[in-house]
Structure 1
């Protein structure tokens, strides 16, 4: 079994983990639709098997129209990677409804819309891989980030339920749960943690490095290689799992 010629869709595919996954899939021969809200960012990295599609995952109608356009251009989506997300912490007593909804709309609602609208092609072809990018915060919870943690737990619940729905078919559903990954999100969080905790940016970065069990940041390519494995030969019995990439036991 090969993914060559298969159509993959990666949300948040213009940068960071999403871009690494998209490039790995394209390198293995897939036709990859990359989505995001910033068309200029997508256009900059497009080419070599990557096809840009401007789409806001928080908007149900945009996801429906975007997936339909991608299917029309490249055929049924058989590899779906709900990756788009917001990684931002806030103490619960400082969390208002607007912040809560922003996190849920992107991280959880966006995953739901994307998977639901991609399922048609998988059901039609009786082969599919859904690999949601969750977080170790979806496994154990993250201090000071209740909304984020709840959204990532929700992603895993969605994946596990779908894996039960499609047992014994050619479709599998898994989640990947990375620790701190070396992307631009780290840079943004360094500034936020520094201001919130009253520490230097160097100390804030060290806090995130220390949180990974092997005491280094994870590379986006490490996550991408796990996705390739879940799409490749011998992966069909890996289903309903939350795969931790954190350098050790969480």
Structure 2
């Protein structure tokens, strides 16, 4: 029996790879882009999710990132990353959880980051918001313990996406390195020694959402080749 899967930030990058994985499994997938639903807007989230009906799997993938030293991080930057990465996951999870609990089955998977588990320079707003997203996931997991619902997260290192390409370009512009050298530097930040491909993240998401993963709850799967071990 196919499931209804909702993927926020589902039209490109990791989200598009996740949507394709579920579609290939025969699930009905709704890939929400920014134009479809502003995950930071409480009313919009409530309306869209109510219209979608009984959601079996929610993938909180919508996210934004920027980097700067703490002293140069603006309040606007802080708030924008917090609103999308943390509040967005909160609003979407809150919208689906009552129905999942009433039906006694459901999966919530949040796409976080290794920055949700370990601090890095120049990522105060991003790391704080992703830490919050993982904390939310753990609190939800505690609430649903003993039911047919689970909440988990995946924490990848840098993935080959537009967001990472922007990071590479920023490093190149700041340091004078070529974009190729800048990408190698970013890739070298994890023991993996390369950028992750979006489909590698999608594989982990689909695993956590599987019916057979009912015993996995409140966990983070780290995808970085072994640098962050939890």
TM-score class, shorter-chain normalisation, is over 0.9
Task: Write the distance in 2 (CA, Å) between the matches of 1:96 and 1:184.
Answer: 23
User: What's 1:245 paired with?
Assistant: 223
Match of 1:16 among 13, 16, 35: 13
User: What's 2:48 paired with?
Assistant: 66
- Could you list the structure 1 runs, at least 4 aligned residues long, displaced by more than 6 angstroms after superposition: none
Q: Secondary structure at the match of 2:154?
A: strand
What is the CA-CA distance between 1:22 and the residue it aligns to? 0.8
Task: Write the distance in 2 (CA, Å) between the matches of 1:17 and 1:208.
Answer: 18
What is the CA-CA distance between 1:115 and the residue it aligns to? 0.5
Alignment of 1:41-120 (within 5 A): 54-71=36-53, 76-120=54-98
Taking only aligned residues, the RMSD between alpha carbons, in angstroms, comes to 1.2
Q: Secondary structure at the match of 1:206?
A: helix
**Given that residues 184 and 194 in structure 2 are in contact (C-alpha distance below 8 angstroms), is that contact kept between their aligned partners in structure 1?**
no
After superposition, give the CA deviation of every residue in 1:72-115 in whole Å (9 maximum; x if it has no partner): xxxx1110101000021111101121111011011101000011
User: What's 2:148 paired with?
Assistant: 170
User: What's 1:139 paired with?
Assistant: 117
2:27 corresponds to 1:30: yes
Alignment of 1:140-219 (within 5 A): 140-219=118-197
What is the CA-CA distance between 1:246 and the residue it aligns to? 0.7
Task: Write the distance in 2 (CA, Å) between the matches of 1:220 and 1:197.
Answer: 27
What is the CA-CA distance between 1:233 and the residue it aligns to? 4.2
Alignment length (residue pairs): 228
Task: Write the distance in 2 (CA, Å) between the matches of 1:150 and 1:65.
Answer: 28
Task: Write the distance in 1 (CA, Å) between the matches of 2:174 and 2:116.
Answer: 23
Structure 1: tracts of 5 or more residues without a match? 39-53
After superposition, give the CA deviation of every residue in 1:51-85 in whole Å (9 maximum; x if it has no partner): xxx111111111111111211xxxx1110101000
Match of 2:3 among 3, 6, 25: 6
User: What's 2:104 paired with?
Assistant: 126
After superposition, give the CA deviation of every residue in 1:20-76 in whole Å (9 maximum; x if it has no partner): 0011011111111111114xxxxxxxxxxxxxxx111111111111111211xxxx1
Match of 2:210 among 219, 222, 232: 232
Q: TM-score, normalised by structure 2?
A: 0.95
What is the CA-CA distance between 1:235 and the residue it aligns to? 1.0
**Given that residues 112 and 156 in structure 2 are in contact (C-alpha distance below 8 angstroms), is that contact kept between their aligned partners in structure 1?**
yes
Distance 1:99 1:199, change over 3 A: same
Task: Write the distance in 1 (CA, Å) between the matches of 2:174 and 2:141.
Answer: 39
